[in-house]
Amino acid sequence: MQLSELSRESGLPIPTIKYYLREGLLEPGDAPDSGRAEYSESHVRRLRLIRALAQVGDLPLSTIARILEAIDDDSVPLHHALGVAHYALAQRGGMSAGSVELAQARVEVDAFLDDLGWTIDADAPDRDELASALETLRCLGWKVDAKVFMRYARAADKLAKRELSQNPGDLDRERAVENAVVGTVVFESALTALRRLAQEHHSAARFPT
């Protein structure tokens, strides 16, 4: 198909596609210098993936580029490719400057995750994300320790276990990584939206106007 059809199929404007081509997020089509480059279904698929990560995941292009690289590089093991996406998502917020309180919270979060028996890289940035959440609560006067997250950890564990078990074993590597990344990003957005909606529902019952 030509560029105009690629635009229709992917739902992205032609200038955006051209930008992705220039930035190397999208492979050139066949005969790119002829002015009538030919694109395939794999181009459509890739553009839809970029759109999902950018719109639903709210990820910057530089992060998306790193995720796509991990998907495309066959030498990167599946587990590690998913890790690249996780780390990109964790680092969206940016970390606060280190403090004694934050370092203390991090020690407690590490012990909490150990107690859960989870196998997690020592450098996983989500450890800091969780420590930052704990430190923030305390800073606001909440008298809590890491166990305040127990109910959330249990819910997350149940959901993640199910998510990972659903990836059918007969998918090719690229499709499997893609599914895992999409699942992480899109269901994260769905889960947070549903939690806010559920809060609205329960808040209406608790604080009638």
Cα distance between residue 76 and residue 173, in whole Å: 10
Q: How far is the CB of 28 from a copy of itself (least distance, A)?
A: 23
Q: Which is nearer to a copy of itself, 30 or 121 (CB)?
A: 121
Which position among 8, 36, 147, 202 is part of the footprint of a copy of itself (CB under 8 A)?
202
Q: Please report whether residue 39 would count as binding a copy of itself according to CB under 8 A.
A: no
Interface residues for a copy of itself in 136-195 (CB under 8 A)? Answer: 136-137, 139-142, 149, 151-153, 155-165, 167, 178, 180, 182, 184, 186-195
Q: Please report whether residue 55 would count as binding a copy of itself according to CB under 8 A.
A: yes
DSSP string spanning 159-209? HHHHHHHHS-TTS-HHHHHHHHHHHHHHHHHHHHHHHHHHHHHHHHHHS--
Convert residues 77-116 into a mask of x (bound to a copy of itself by CB under 8 A) and - (unbound).
Answer: xxxx-xx--x--xx-xxx-x--x-------------x---
- Alpha-carbon distances of 81 from 102, 131, 169, 203, rounded to whole Å: 29, 24, 16, 39
Q: How far is the CB of 70 from a copy of itself (least distance, A)?
A: 13
CA contacts within 13 A on the Cβ side of 145: 8
Q: Please report whether residue 65 would count as binding a copy of itself according to CB under 8 A.
A: no
* Both tokens assigned to 155: 């819910």
Cα distance between residue 104 and residue 166, in whole Å: 37
Cα distance between residue 105 and residue 146, in whole Å: 8
Q: Which is nearer to a copy of itself, 37 or 56 (CB)?
A: 56
Q: Please report whether residue 42 would count as binding a copy of itself according to CB under 8 A.
A: no
Window of 18-26, 31-39, 60-68, 131-139 that interacts with a copy of itself by CB under 8 A: 131-139
Cα distance between residue 46 and residue 173, in whole Å: 15
